[in-house]
Structure 1
Amino acid sequence: MRTPKILLLGPPGAGKGTQSSNLVETFGVEHVTTGDALRSNKEMDISDLGLAYDTPGEYMDRGELVPDEVVNAIVEEALTSADGFVLDGYPRNLEQAEELESMTDLDVIVSLSVGEEELVDRLTGRRVCAECGENYHVEFDKPEEAGVCDECGGELIQREDDTEEAVRNRLEVFAENTQPVIEYYSDRDAFVEINGEQSLDAVWADLEAAVEDELKR
Structure 2
Amino acid sequence: MGKHILLLGAPGAGKGTQSKRLADEFDLEHVTTGDALRANKGMDISHLDFEYDTPREYMDAGELVPDDVVNEIVKTALQEADGYVLDGYPRNLDQAEYLTEITDLDAVVYLDVSEEELVDRLTGRRVCPDCGANYHVEFAPPEEKGVCDECGSPLVQREDDTEETVRERLSVYHENTEPVVDHYRDEGVLAEVNGEQTPDEVFEDVTAAVEDA
Q: TM-score, normalised by structure 1?
A: 0.95
Q: Secondary structure at the match of 1:156?
A: coil
- How many angstroms apart in 2 are the aligned matches of 1:9 and 1:133? 27
- How many angstroms apart in 1 are the aligned matches of 2:151 and 2:57? 34
Q: Which residue of 1 aligns with 2:9?
A: 10
- How many angstroms apart in 2 are the aligned matches of 1:126 and 1:88? 20
Q: Which residue of 2 aligns with 1:176?
A: 175
Range with greater deviation from structure 2 (183-192 or 112-121):
183-192
Q: Which residue of 1 aligns with 2:150?
A: 151
Q: Which residue of 1 aligns with 2:66?
A: 67
The one-letter code matched in structure 1 to 2:84 is F
- How many angstroms apart in 2 are the aligned matches of 1:5 and 1:188? 17
Q: Which residue of 2 aligns with 1:24?
A: 23
When the two chains are superposed, the root-mean-square deviation of aligned CA atoms in Å is 1.0
Q: Secondary structure at the match of 1:186?
A: helix
Q: Where in structure 1 do 4 or more consecutive aligned residues deviate above 4 Å? A: none
Q: Which residue of 2 aligns with 1:109?
A: 108
Percent identity over paired residues: 67
| CA shift for structure 1 position 128 | 1.2
Q: Secondary structure at the match of 2:24?
A: helix
Q: Deviations over 1:53-93 (max 9, x none)?
A: 01001111111010000000000000000011000000000
Q: Which residue of 1 aligns with 2:203?
A: 204
Q: Return 5+ residue gaps in structure 1 as ranges.
A: none
| CA shift for structure 1 position 134 | 1.9
Q: Which residue of 2 aligns with 1:187?
A: 186
Kept in 2, the 8 Å contact 1:143–1:150? The answer is yes
Q: Return 5+ residue gaps in structure 2 as ranges.
A: none
Kept in 2, the 8 Å contact 1:124–1:162? The answer is yes
- How many angstroms apart in 1 are the aligned matches of 2:127 and 2:104? 37
- How many angstroms apart in 2 are the aligned matches of 1:21 and 1:145? 29
Q: Which residue of 1 aligns with 2:123?
A: 124
Aligned residues: 213
Q: Secondary structure at the match of 1:193?
A: strand
Q: Which residue of 1 aligns with 2:98?
A: 99
Q: Deviations over 1:14-58 (max 9, x none)?
A: 000110111011100110000111111111110110000010011
**1:71-82 pair list within 5 angstroms:** 71-82=70-81
Q: Which residue of 1 aligns with 2:160?
A: 161
